[in-house]
Amino acid sequence: MSSNETSTAPSEALPDAHTPSQPAPSAPLPSAAVSHLQQPTPMSKNALKRLRKQQAWEDGREDRRLQRKEKRQAHKLRVRSERAVLIAGGADPRVVYNRDKRANAPLVPLAIVVDCDFEPYMTDKERISLSSQVTRAYSDNRNAKYRAHLWIAGFNGKLAERFDTVLQAQQNSWKGASVFSGDFAACAVEARAQMAAKKTVALEDGAAEQEGNQKHNEQLLIGPLRRSLESPAPWPRDAHDPFPLPDLEPPLDPAYKDVVYLSSDSPYTLARLEPNTTYVVGGLVDKNREKGLCYRRARERGIRTARLPIGQFMVMRSRQVLATNHVVDIMLKWLEHEDWGKAFLSVIPKRKGGILRGEGEPAAEAEAEVEADEADGENGEQVEELDEKKGERAEGGGEQAEEKHTETAALTQIPIA
């Protein structure tokens, strides 16, 4: 081997550190720097507080369940005892058991659509609140003296998922209410067809005893709606525009002449409910962040808008927001009383501080919003209680059968006239 070959071999085995194609390895990071990179981002005080609150809620779930169960059992025992005392004292068992409570409440030619197509504007907590308000609206309509055609529009996405899972698809067993995946305008068309398919029978004043005889394919034109038909209320534009927009108001679309979208931002005030009309309620729980969203949505489609006449009948202590189910219930109460004052007073929660005009000391006047807000005691605890009640119904067949037997035995003792 030559001297040149001997000198070149080591250079091939050990590359020159100054060669550009072979960069020197970077120095290892200090242990403190590695530790810093691996540490998660510290939680803020508010996030930590929310996490602890959620954990405390989860830890107390079983205790809350037991407390609610004991409360329901105590209520059942108290009701049974009170019924037994009343019947023993000679009370009519049919009245005691409230047999004709609302089971055959007449259906009227009026539709209410809850527009739930606002998912991108709500948080998960607000969607949970909306689902509770929708179930309450269904319950209010089912138990009302006069039932409207109730529709839930925009029923898809996370709202539908929650109903199908957490709420055990309860909407599939609803009676007198329908869910619709399309938007509120298409739903209003469906509601119109549903009302048109039923025979409308006028219910004269003083003929309330005939309500229970309503046939399946009939709807009753009750007194308040009949009077609205005979003397249509004017539809003037208010002098005060609560939510002025820069562009001109577009013409109304004749295809939706029988549709009214309720919004506190409307420059029109609702005077009466009209028969064969669909009233849309915005199912938006957003703490009023999206001001004017419902109003603009209806206006862009050429659909009439109106706000409830709260300012004409009520004095509110502060600017408040009504829950979706409250708006539905207010309309149902108007059908019953034909009086907005009574409707507002019986539905608006006491905590909102509303009083009828002319009663008590006047408070600072403020118009109430029509879009949805969180109702009392929403969210987790109500869902837990709903699930427990369903479980009890599934497991408590024997207890219900015993109670039904007691009721039947009491009713069979009624003398036949």
Q: What angle do CA 137, 138, 141 make, to 5 degrees?
A: 85
Looking at the structure, do residues 266 and 174 belong to the same domain, yes or no? Answer: yes
Last residue of a domain, one of 262, 287, 308: 308
Tokens describing residue 414: 């009624």
pLDDT tens digits along 72-108: 899 989 888 888 888 888 887 877 776 545 556 899 9
Looking at the structure, do residues 72 and 172 belong to the same domain, yes or no? Answer: no
Q: Which 3-state string (H, E, C) describes 42-95?
A: CCCHHHHHHHHHHHHHHHCHHHHHHHHHHHHHHHHHHHHHHHHHHHHCCCCHHH
pLDDT tens digits along 258-306: 999 999 889 999 999 999 999 999 998 866 677 889 999 999 999 999 9
User: Which residues are part of the catalytic machinery?
Assistant: 286
Last residue of a domain, one of 285, 308, 331: 308
Closest CA to 386 of 65, 74, 151, 155: 65
pLDDT band of 403, cuts 50, 70, 90? low
Q: Is 74 part of any domain?
A: yes
Containing H/E element for 280?
strand 277-282
Looking at the structure, do residues 88 and 196 belong to the same domain, yes or no? Answer: no
Looking at the structure, do residues 145 and 273 belong to the same domain, yes or no? Answer: yes
Domain of 193, in residue numbers: 107-308
pLDDT > 90 in the chain, percent: 42
pLDDT of residue 366: 43
Rounded Cα–Cα distance for residues 349 and 368 (Å): 12
Q: Is 120 part of any domain?
A: yes
Listing DSSP states for 193-239 in one string gives HHHHTSEEEE--TT-GGGGGG--TTEEEE-HHHHHHHHSPPP-PBPS
Looking at the structure, do residues 404 and 293 belong to the same domain, yes or no? Answer: no
pLDDT of residue 100: 47
pLDDT of residue 322: 85
Report, as an integer, the average pLDDT of 175-180. Answer: 94
pLDDT exceeds cutoff 50 at 6:
no
pLDDT exceeds cutoff 60 at 19:
no
Q: Is 149 part of any domain?
A: yes
Report, as an integer, the average pLDDT of 226-239. Answer: 87
How many H helices and E strands in the chain?
A: 15, 10
Q: Is 280 part of any domain?
A: yes
